[in-house]
Amino acid sequence: MTTENQRDLSSQMQSAVNELRQTVKERYPEATFRIYRGQDEPEAVHLIATVDIDDPDEVVDLVIERVLEFQLDKGLPVHVIPIRPLARVLEDQASQRHRARPRIDWGAAIPNP
């Protein structure tokens, strides 16, 4: 899958992508974006939004109504896919590994013969 050049999009699709990008940027100014064509549906456009927040679904909640309008009313197969930065994902995984685990008292768990 390669990054889609926005020049290759129809003017309607460019407008939709720009509007969705702007909506996300207004709430999350640090967001970055990539555009890809769908692998299974080459006519579909995926706007990948990288946002450093705890719950990426907040981005979907922000744009879902407009995405559905583009898809259903205008026939534009555009999707917004929020992801977290890799560094944040790795950081969260590392902190989960270091959480204290309950200790097992093996003396109480294994009776003496």
Does some domain include residue 104? no
pLDDT in tens, 52-92: 998 999 999 999 999 999 999 999 999 999 998 876 656 66
Domain that holds residue 68: 6-99
Q: Is the pLDDT of residue 30 over 70?
A: yes
What CATH number did the domain enclosing 71 receive?
3.30.300
pLDDT at 104: 66
Provide the domain count of the chain: 1
Q: Which of 84, 85, 68 is nearest to 76 (CA)?
A: 68
d(CA 77, CA 70): 7
Does some domain include residue 64? yes
pLDDT in tens, 3-12: 556 668 999 9
Does some domain include residue 87? yes
